[in-house]
Amino acid sequence: MSISMIGIDHNMAPVDIRAKFAFTKKNAGEAMEKIKNQNGIYGCVILSTCNRLEVWASVDDEVDVCLYDCLCRIKGITEDSYRKYFVERKDQEAVEHLFYLTSGLKSQIIGEDQILTQVKDALNLARENFAADGVLEVLFRMAATAGKRIKTEVPFSHGNPSVIHQAIGFLAEKGYSLRDKICMVIGNGEMGKVAAQALQEAGADVTVTIRQYRSGVVNIPLGCKRINYGDRMEYMPQCDLVVSATASPNFTLKEELFQGIRTKDDLILIDLAVPRDIEPSVGKIQGVTLYDMDSFRIEEVPAELQENLEAAGAIVRE
């Protein structure tokens, strides 16, 4: 038996390519079942986040298994041009990659915390769909243990590791202050809540959209206001900045929705979803600046993080 994985991430492919292979929670569960039922595959775990898609499998050494082909069949993709965006790892190389990944050392923002939860959630989803086997169970549990130890023993020096904090820092470097700005966050999942909290901490007036059929049971960060999702365009003219961070397969903001609406002359839109929440053509509307997940990438690791990275790497190797 061997451990095999294929993956695509923010380093290898732009957001629109990653979006073609992204899964919702429901679709990921169905896909894992299908992959596990393939000849020569004993177990499967799919990790799908805004920055990456990885398919993990324990496979029979005697059977020629191609995870890329399995993935493309599930996604209905027939062209082979996307293969160049994927990397394949096996056995020890794959194991080391997962340990580094779970520790936040391969994230768009080094040391971010969300990936550890996402890896554990991926394993739990595989369990729920009877897709994980004993090998992947042990592997993912050990990776989570390494990640927790690194979070405890290695104090990464930057304060708030998330994409929205990076976006806020990016805007601040351009001289844009969020103090007293009117902001709307579309989406009340984990990323939406983090975004709302971060914007509020930066001094903004924050309103969160809530789907009407869930408005009585959801929680939003303390101090934020709420409106129904269906009222988002009515509120848009008041906004200085809008963040969209949902798991919807459809656009939350389309170009046609802006017709007849007078927005502020310097409206900033930030799309934190994969697949995209905001139709790209919206960014061409006069007075609108649109950023996506790839707009805030840091190409080089800051020098002050290098020592921490080496310490984390020692734990992974151990």
> In DSSP terms, which residues pair with 3 in a beta bridge?
58
Tokens 């200085």 -> residue: 240
Q: Are strands 182-186 and 241-244 parallel, antiparallel or unpaired?
A: parallel
Please provide the DSSP assignment of 160-185 as one string: --SHHHHHHHHHHHTT---TT-EEEE
For residues 130 and 152, what is the distance between their CA atoms, to the nearest angstrom? Answer: 32
For residues 92 and 4, what is the distance between their CA atoms, to the nearest angstrom? Answer: 10
Burial class of residue 59 in the structure, from the number of CB atoms within 10 Å of its CB (0-12 exposed, 13-18 middle, 19+ buried): buried
For residues 277 and 257, what is the distance between their CA atoms, to the nearest angstrom? Answer: 13
Catalytic residue among 50, 72, 183, 224: 50
Is 239 labeled as catalytic in the residue annotation? no
Q: How far is CA 164 from CA 80, 192, 206, 264, in A?
A: 34, 9, 14, 22
**Contact (Cβ atoms closer than 8 angstroms) between residue 272 and residue 262:** no
Backbone φ, ψ for residue 219 (5° rounding): -110, 145
Which phi-psi region, left, alpha or beta, contains residue 263 (left: φ > 0; alpha: ψ -120 to 50)? beta
**Contact (Cβ atoms closer than 8 angstroms) between residue 52 and residue 10:** yes
Catalytic machinery residues: 50
